[in-house]
Amino acid sequence: DTGVSQDPRHKITKRGQNVTFRCDPISEHNRLYWYRQTLGQGPEFLTYFQNEAQLEKSRLLSDRFSAERPKGSFSTLEIQRTEQGDSAMYLCASSFGTVNQETQYFGPGTRLLVL
Amino acid sequence: DQQVKQNSPSLSVQEGRISILNCDYTNSMFDYFLWYKKYPAEGPTFLISISSIKDKNEDGRFTVFLNKSAKHLSLHIVPSQPGDSAVYFCAASGWVDDKIIFGKGTRLHILP
Protein backbone atom coordinates (compact mmCIF):
# COMPACT_ATOMS: atom_id res chain seq x y z
CA ASP A 1 0.00 0.00 0.00
CA THR A 2 1.61 3.27 -1.09
CA GLY A 3 -0.87 5.64 0.54
CA VAL A 4 -0.51 7.76 3.66
CA SER A 5 -0.47 5.65 6.81
CA GLN A 6 -1.09 6.65 10.40
CA ASP A 7 -0.47 4.85 13.64
CA PRO A 8 -2.24 4.13 15.90
CA ARG A 9 -5.71 4.18 14.39
CA HIS A 10 -7.30 4.60 17.80
CA LYS A 11 -6.01 5.86 21.14
CA ILE A 12 -7.80 6.08 24.47
CA THR A 13 -5.97 7.90 27.20
CA LYS A 14 -6.60 9.50 30.56
CA ARG A 15 -6.56 13.24 30.98
CA GLY A 16 -3.08 14.49 31.76
CA GLN A 17 -1.24 11.75 29.87
CA ASN A 18 0.98 12.37 26.85
CA VAL A 19 0.24 10.78 23.49
CA THR A 20 2.22 10.55 20.27
CA PHE A 21 0.92 9.81 16.79
CA ARG A 22 2.90 8.86 13.73
CA CYS A 23 2.30 9.61 10.08
CA ASP A 24 4.09 8.06 7.11
CA PRO A 25 3.41 10.07 3.95
CA ILE A 26 3.45 8.88 0.37
CA SER A 27 7.15 8.27 -0.23
CA GLU A 28 7.86 10.90 -2.89
CA HIS A 29 5.80 13.62 -1.20
CA ASN A 30 7.81 16.45 0.31
CA ARG A 31 4.92 18.18 2.09
CA LEU A 32 3.17 16.80 5.13
CA TYR A 33 0.16 18.29 6.89
CA TRP A 34 -1.63 17.66 10.16
CA TYR A 35 -5.34 18.38 10.58
CA ARG A 36 -7.82 17.84 13.38
CA GLN A 37 -11.45 16.95 12.83
CA THR A 38 -14.18 17.07 15.45
CA LEU A 39 -17.76 15.88 15.14
CA GLY A 40 -19.80 17.86 12.64
CA GLN A 41 -16.82 19.85 11.40
CA GLY A 42 -14.50 19.62 8.47
CA PRO A 43 -10.79 19.01 9.01
CA GLU A 44 -9.01 22.00 10.55
CA PHE A 45 -5.40 22.76 9.70
CA LEU A 46 -2.85 22.37 12.50
CA THR A 47 0.60 22.52 10.93
CA TYR A 48 2.63 21.55 7.92
CA PHE A 49 6.14 20.65 6.87
CA GLN A 50 8.05 21.02 3.68
CA ASN A 51 10.71 18.35 3.93
CA GLU A 52 11.94 18.65 7.53
CA ALA A 53 11.07 22.33 7.96
CA GLN A 54 7.89 23.22 9.84
CA LEU A 55 6.58 26.16 7.86
CA GLU A 56 3.32 27.07 9.53
CA LYS A 57 1.44 26.42 12.75
CA SER A 58 -2.19 27.18 13.38
CA ARG A 59 -3.28 29.07 16.48
CA LEU A 60 -5.20 25.86 17.24
CA LEU A 61 -1.85 24.29 18.01
CA SER A 62 -1.33 25.19 21.65
CA ASP A 63 2.04 24.83 23.36
CA ARG A 64 0.97 21.36 24.50
CA PHE A 65 1.19 20.23 20.88
CA SER A 66 4.45 19.61 19.07
CA ALA A 67 5.12 18.13 15.68
CA GLU A 68 8.35 16.94 14.14
CA ARG A 69 9.54 15.60 10.84
CA PRO A 70 13.22 15.03 11.59
CA LYS A 71 14.39 13.44 8.36
CA GLY A 72 11.79 14.83 6.03
CA SER A 73 9.98 11.51 5.84
CA PHE A 74 7.62 10.39 8.64
CA SER A 75 6.22 12.84 11.15
CA THR A 76 5.10 12.65 14.77
CA LEU A 77 2.49 14.72 16.55
CA GLU A 78 2.74 14.77 20.34
CA ILE A 79 0.12 16.09 22.72
CA GLN A 80 1.30 16.67 26.25
CA ARG A 81 -0.99 16.78 29.30
CA THR A 82 -4.02 15.78 27.25
CA GLU A 83 -7.37 17.40 27.96
CA GLN A 84 -10.86 16.13 27.17
CA GLY A 85 -11.15 18.83 24.50
CA ASP A 86 -8.30 17.17 22.60
CA SER A 87 -10.61 14.27 21.73
CA ALA A 88 -10.83 14.32 17.94
CA MET A 89 -9.71 12.61 14.77
CA TYR A 90 -6.16 13.62 13.88
CA LEU A 91 -5.53 13.46 10.16
CA CYS A 92 -2.28 13.52 8.26
CA ALA A 93 -2.02 14.42 4.59
CA SER A 94 0.83 14.67 2.13
CA SER A 95 1.46 16.29 -1.23
CA PHE A 96 4.27 16.78 -3.71
CA GLY A 97 5.61 20.03 -5.00
CA THR A 98 6.82 23.46 -4.08
CA VAL A 99 3.94 25.57 -5.30
CA ASN A 100 0.29 25.58 -4.37
CA GLN A 101 -2.58 23.95 -6.23
CA GLU A 102 -1.38 20.55 -5.15
CA THR A 103 -3.76 17.85 -4.09
CA GLN A 104 -3.32 16.61 -0.55
CA TYR A 105 -3.87 12.93 0.08
CA PHE A 106 -5.08 11.91 3.49
CA GLY A 107 -4.32 9.00 5.75
CA PRO A 108 -6.99 7.08 7.67
CA GLY A 109 -6.58 9.22 10.77
CA THR A 110 -5.96 8.55 14.46
CA ARG A 111 -9.04 8.81 16.64
CA LEU A 112 -8.16 10.09 20.11
CA LEU A 113 -10.45 9.80 23.10
CA VAL A 114 -9.38 11.51 26.30
CA LEU A 115 -11.24 10.29 29.37
CA ASP B 1 -15.76 33.19 10.36
CA GLN B 2 -16.27 30.34 7.93
CA GLN B 3 -14.48 30.88 4.66
CA VAL B 4 -15.91 27.75 3.05
CA LYS B 5 -19.59 27.06 3.60
CA GLN B 6 -21.65 24.00 2.87
CA ASN B 7 -25.12 25.04 3.88
CA SER B 8 -26.81 21.67 3.44
CA PRO B 9 -25.85 19.29 6.24
CA SER B 10 -27.50 16.40 4.42
CA LEU B 11 -28.99 15.45 1.09
CA SER B 12 -30.99 12.41 -0.03
CA VAL B 13 -31.06 11.37 -3.68
CA GLN B 14 -32.63 8.44 -5.46
CA GLU B 15 -30.20 5.93 -6.96
CA GLY B 16 -29.60 6.69 -10.62
CA ARG B 17 -30.53 10.37 -10.33
CA ILE B 18 -28.22 13.36 -10.17
CA SER B 19 -26.71 14.47 -6.87
CA ILE B 20 -25.80 18.14 -6.62
CA LEU B 21 -23.72 19.31 -3.68
CA ASN B 22 -23.16 23.01 -3.22
CA CYS B 23 -20.42 25.09 -1.67
CA ASP B 24 -19.87 28.82 -1.20
CA TYR B 25 -16.68 30.61 -0.28
CA THR B 26 -15.90 34.10 0.91
CA ASN B 27 -12.15 34.51 0.37
CA SER B 28 -11.44 35.92 -3.09
CA MET B 29 -7.80 34.79 -2.75
CA PHE B 30 -8.84 31.15 -3.08
CA ASP B 31 -7.79 29.81 -6.47
CA TYR B 32 -7.90 26.04 -6.10
CA PHE B 33 -10.91 24.04 -5.02
CA LEU B 34 -11.25 20.41 -4.11
CA TRP B 35 -13.92 17.91 -3.19
CA TYR B 36 -13.20 15.09 -0.79
CA LYS B 37 -15.39 12.15 0.13
CA LYS B 38 -15.28 10.60 3.58
CA TYR B 39 -16.60 7.32 4.88
CA PRO B 40 -16.94 6.76 8.64
CA ALA B 41 -13.69 5.95 10.42
CA GLU B 42 -11.64 6.73 7.32
CA GLY B 43 -9.65 9.75 6.18
CA PRO B 44 -10.99 11.99 3.41
CA THR B 45 -10.47 10.65 -0.10
CA PHE B 46 -9.70 13.10 -2.89
CA LEU B 47 -12.39 13.16 -5.57
CA ILE B 48 -11.87 16.03 -7.97
CA SER B 49 -10.40 19.52 -8.08
CA ILE B 50 -10.68 22.66 -10.14
CA SER B 51 -8.40 25.63 -10.66
CA SER B 52 -9.83 29.13 -10.75
CA ILE B 53 -8.81 29.46 -14.40
CA LYS B 54 -11.48 26.92 -15.30
CA ASP B 55 -15.21 26.84 -14.77
CA LYS B 56 -15.75 23.12 -15.19
CA ASN B 57 -13.82 19.92 -14.60
CA GLU B 58 -15.13 16.46 -15.30
CA ASP B 59 -13.92 13.04 -14.19
CA GLY B 60 -16.19 10.13 -14.96
CA ARG B 61 -19.43 10.52 -13.04
CA PHE B 62 -18.13 13.57 -11.17
CA THR B 63 -18.22 17.13 -12.48
CA VAL B 64 -17.27 20.23 -10.55
CA PHE B 65 -18.54 23.63 -11.64
CA LEU B 66 -17.00 26.89 -10.48
CA ASN B 67 -18.74 30.27 -10.62
CA LYS B 68 -16.10 32.77 -9.53
CA SER B 69 -18.32 35.82 -9.67
CA ALA B 70 -20.78 34.16 -7.28
CA LYS B 71 -17.99 32.51 -5.26
CA HIS B 72 -19.85 29.26 -5.65
CA LEU B 73 -18.96 25.76 -6.67
CA SER B 74 -20.95 22.60 -7.02
CA LEU B 75 -20.27 18.90 -7.41
CA HIS B 76 -22.53 16.88 -9.68
CA ILE B 77 -22.62 13.11 -9.46
CA VAL B 78 -24.40 11.38 -12.33
CA PRO B 79 -25.75 8.77 -12.00
CA SER B 80 -25.75 8.44 -8.23
CA GLN B 81 -24.83 5.02 -6.88
CA PRO B 82 -25.25 3.43 -3.43
CA GLY B 83 -21.49 3.62 -2.84
CA ASP B 84 -21.69 7.38 -3.15
CA SER B 85 -23.34 7.57 0.27
CA ALA B 86 -20.76 9.42 2.35
CA VAL B 87 -19.88 12.84 3.70
CA TYR B 88 -18.59 15.23 1.04
CA PHE B 89 -16.26 18.06 1.96
CA CYS B 90 -15.68 21.11 -0.17
CA ALA B 91 -12.21 22.61 0.32
CA ALA B 92 -10.27 25.58 -0.97
CA SER B 93 -6.74 26.94 -0.97
CA GLY B 94 -5.08 30.11 -2.18
CA TRP B 95 -1.80 30.88 -3.90
CA VAL B 96 -0.47 32.68 -0.84
CA ASP B 97 -1.39 29.93 1.54
CA ASP B 98 -0.66 26.23 1.40
CA LYS B 99 -3.26 25.03 3.82
CA ILE B 100 -6.64 23.80 2.71
CA ILE B 101 -9.75 25.25 4.30
CA PHE B 102 -12.61 22.77 4.56
CA GLY B 103 -16.33 23.23 4.77
CA LYS B 104 -18.34 21.35 7.40
CA GLY B 105 -19.43 18.71 4.95
CA THR B 106 -22.68 17.45 3.45
CA ARG B 107 -23.88 13.94 4.18
CA LEU B 108 -25.21 12.36 1.00
CA HIS B 109 -27.67 9.47 1.24
CA ILE B 110 -28.37 7.52 -1.92
CA LEU B 111 -31.77 5.89 -1.66
CA PRO B 112 -32.48 2.56 -3.36
Compare CB distances from A100 to B41, B98, B104 and report the shortest one's residue: B98
Is the Cβ pair A41, B104 closer than 8 Å? yes
Given a cut of 90, is residue A106 above it in pLDDT? yes
Most confident of A4-18, A44-58, A89-103, B82-96: A4-18
**Ranges in chain B, pLDDT < 50:** none
Q: How would residue A100 be classed by pLDDT, with cut points 50, 70 and 90? A: low
Q: Return the minimum-mean-pLDDT range out of A54-63, A75-84, B19-28.
A: A54-63
The answer to whether residue A47 scores a pLDDT higher than 90 is yes
Alpha carbon of A40: minimum distance to chain B alpha carbons (Å): 6
B37-54 CB burial, b ≥16 within 10 A, e <16: bbeeeebbeebbbbebee
Mean of all residue pLDDT scores within chain A: 91
